[in-house]
Structure 1
Amino acid sequence: MPEISIADELFTVRDFWRHAISRFQAAKLSFGHGTTTATDDAAFLVLDSLDLPIDTLDPFLDARLTTAERKLLAERIDARVTTRKPSAYLTGRSYIQGIRFYVDERVIVPRSFIGEILFSEYGGQEDSLYLPDRFGVESVVDICTGSGCLAVIAAGLFPNAEVDAVDLSSDALEVARINVTDHEFSERLTLYRGNLFAPLKGKTYDLIITNPPYVDHDEMAVLPEEYQREPAMALDGGPDGLDLVRSILSQAPKHLNPGGGMICEIGTGREMLEEEYPDLDFFWLDTAESQGEVFWITAEALGAGDRKKRK
């Protein structure tokens, strides 16, 4: 008898979702690229592959799929298990606060807490208690931009701002350029290749956003296979994870306008950072899934407040 494939045995969204969960759990996959469980990762892979809303599963559970759709899902579920690639690489898409971004293996899968913080602070009717007035921000830079997702979010949240975005990887900037174009911000979002602030030639900003590499070497050595599929240079933060954070802190004062500040994600290095910089007034920003991994610091706290704002 001819071999019957999974694509010939399963017919509905529910069938493929259940099948994916079973395979992901049996394979002991790792998660953390936008999902945290086999159930959620399976739902994302199935729904996003079908161009369905990734947060709306129930209405589609019993929808019967076409032959082409069944074949695609069978292939991607198998690839998720056999290659250990994050699901976002298989669909070519990732999301921050519901905003879709193109991704591939030239960049890490976007998952910064900064996106959630920006939307929580600027999504309501009242001004943020600590971040600058969104309509008063005229200049933003995203350091270590990767896929460009935070720069794109900033362009959307700060309508009067010119946005710059910097990365050392030319491959990452190619992906960022796709996202800038897709979101139609090419006229006021400029990409630069270089090391941190180096290509900006003394420009100053009302807001610095940065999610630099911050994985320490001990952790790099034991990363699950899913994380090893991402570019190492986008993860490796040096022996203790804070090499780039230190460089950014030392250079940021020269690139901040008075009244502005910097929001920076550092992972789990809060205790080390506060011990090393006891005189800096870090304001730690928590989210639903993080504590003490992102800080806000003003231009004045960094010593930039005594300069006149450059136009």
Structure 2
Amino acid sequence: MHNHDEHEHTDACGDDCGHDHSHDHQHSPADELITVRDLVRYATSRFNRKKIFFGHGLQDAYDEAVYLVLHTLHLPLDRLDPFLDACIPAEERGEVIDIIHRRSDERIPAAYLTREAWLGQFRFYVDERVIVPRSFCAELLEGGLGPWIPDDEAVTHALDLCTGSGCLAILMAHRYPYAEIDAIDLSPDALDVAAINVEDYGLQDRVNLIESDVFDALADDQRRYDLIISNPPYVTQESVDNLPDEYRHEPAMSLGAGADGMDIVRRIIAQAGRYLKPDGILIIEVGYNRAEFEAAFPALEAVWLSQSAQDEMVLLLRADQL
């Protein structure tokens, strides 16, 4: 019986996706990479050899290889095992190899190739008009803001400042079921992408997209927020100059923020007090720039929040401190 199975397997592979021995076509990797296992191995090796950079959600070459292969073959992203030895027809193999080469040769982040990014269980549409979602704030929202917001249902107004793809605004809408969420961005292009995501989640009636340079569009407005979250541009000039090629595909305005990375943060801190309720809180992500933040605001005693991945990437300030 065992032999029979093996024989059948060979037959199937032989017909569908065996090697082409004719010598009148250009040799391509697709001739020899027959199974999902082959493609994942090929991608992992190529990504390591080309030293591509992983800063957009996935941890290493293997994770990125598995994700790109499964996604391109329209297979469930959390189930590799049943498909490892599946023979892939030549046409599909060509698609997968094309994606692998674009990722490694053009250094395009995976999210732009697949047009999607994930934060936890949440999937978002993305393209080159927005930065690839990767906020430390996402994990904080998933766990809730315990001592500072003891009752999620009491939050009625929240703001996602520098919303980009709209991902944090959407996470806030899920965390705070009764909140109306404003989502501000300076880029009309980014807001077009955010609109796709807001519609995908059916949140048009709760998430308002606003084109504004920080708080400018709200200037004469009376609205006040229980919570303002911002993942603003905060990359220092020196870091911008040394960014891996992958980041050059992202909108430059989403990354750099002056010599010390604090240009936008300064504007947020200067104005946020006006837009918070008396017991409201402001949360800002500054990445690895705690020292730059503390140098820019020596008088502010921020609370630095922890996530499982890294400590001290995100700070919290109360309205009475602003």
TM-score normalized with structure 2 length:
0.88
Instruction: Give RMSD over aligned pairs.
Output: 1.6
2:255 counterpart of 1:235: yes
Q: Structure 1 residues 162, 261: closer, same or farther in 2, change over 3 A? A: same
Amino acid at match of 2:154: G
CA contact (8 A) 2:165 2:197 kept: yes
CA contact (8 A) 2:185 2:212 kept: yes
* Residue among 257, 271, 275 paired with 1:251: 271
Q: Deviations over 1:243-294 (max 9, x none)?
A: 1111101110000012221111011221232243333231111222222110
Detail structure 1 runs of 4+ shifted over 4 Å in the superposition: none
Amino acid at match of 2:173: A
2:29 counterpart of 1:9: no
Indicate the residue corresponding to 2:15 in structure 1.
none
Q: Structure 1 residues 212, 284: closer, same or farther in 2, change over 3 A? A: same
1:17-166 to structure 2, matched below 5 A, reads: 17-121=40-144, 128-166=146-184
Q: Structure 1 residues 228, 285: closer, same or farther in 2, change over 3 A? A: same
Say which SS state the counterpart of residue 261 (structure 1) adopts.
strand
Using the TM superposition, give the Cα deviation of residue 61 of structure 1 relative to its aligned residue in structure 2, in angstroms: 2.0
CA distance in 1, matches of 2:292, 2:262: 9
Say which SS state the counterpart of residue 262 (structure 1) adopts.
strand
Say which SS state the counterpart of residue 135 (structure 1) adopts.
helix
Q: Structure 1 residues 52, 115: closer, same or farther in 2, change over 3 A? A: farther
CA distance in 1, matches of 2:311, 2:272: 24
Q: Structure 1 residues 53, 133: closer, same or farther in 2, change over 3 A? A: farther
Using the TM superposition, give the Cα deviation of residue 112 of structure 1 relative to its aligned residue in structure 2, in angstroms: 0.5
Using the TM superposition, give the Cα deviation of residue 228 of structure 1 relative to its aligned residue in structure 2, in angstroms: 0.9
Amino acid at match of 2:113: L
Using the TM superposition, give the Cα deviation of residue 132 of structure 1 relative to its aligned residue in structure 2, in angstroms: 4.8
Task: Point out the more displaced range, 201-210 or 233-242.
Answer: 201-210
Indicate the residue corresponding to 1:217 in structure 2.
237
CA contact (8 A) 1:163 1:190 kept: yes
CA distance in 2, matches of 1:8, 1:98: 36
Indicate the residue corresponding to 1:283 in structure 2.
303
Q: Deviations over 1:60-104 (max 9, x none)?
A: 322333444322211100111221100111011100012110111
Task: Point out the more displaced range, 32-41 or 65-74.
Answer: 65-74
Q: Which is helix-richer, 1 or 2?
A: 2
CA contact (8 A) 1:135 1:160 kept: yes
Q: Structure 1 residues 50, 298: closer, same or farther in 2, change over 3 A? A: farther
Say which SS state the counterpart of residue 258 (structure 1) adopts.
strand
Amino acid at match of 2:189: D
Say which SS state the counterpart of residue 214 (structure 1) adopts.
coil
Indicate the residue corresponding to 1:207 in structure 2.
227
Q: Structure 1 residues 38, 131: closer, same or farther in 2, change over 3 A? A: same
Task: Point out the more displaced range, 196-205 or 101-110.
Answer: 196-205
Amino acid at match of 2:60: T
Q: Deviations over 1:183-223 (max 9, x none)?
A: 11011111011101111243211110100000011111111
Say which SS state the counterpart of residue 300 (structure 1) adopts.
helix
Say which SS state the counterpart of residue 257 (structure 2) adopts.
coil
Q: Structure 1 residues 53, 281: closer, same or farther in 2, change over 3 A? A: farther
Q: Structure 1 residues 274, 42: closer, same or farther in 2, change over 3 A? A: same
CA contact (8 A) 1:132 1:260 kept: no
Amino acid at match of 1:272: E
Unaligned runs of 5+ in 1: 123-127, 303-311
2:214 counterpart of 1:196: yes
CA distance in 1, matches of 2:62, 2:310: 21
TM-score normalized with structure 1 length:
0.91
CA distance in 1, matches of 2:265, 2:122: 27
CA distance in 2, matches of 1:283, 1:96: 24
Amino acid at match of 1:222: N
Unaligned runs of 5+ in 2: 1-22
Indicate the residue corresponding to 1:268 in structure 2.
288
Q: Structure 1 residues 298, 58: closer, same or farther in 2, change over 3 A? A: farther
Amino acid at match of 1:292: E
Q: Structure 1 residues 285, 76: closer, same or farther in 2, change over 3 A? A: same
Larger radius of gyration: 2
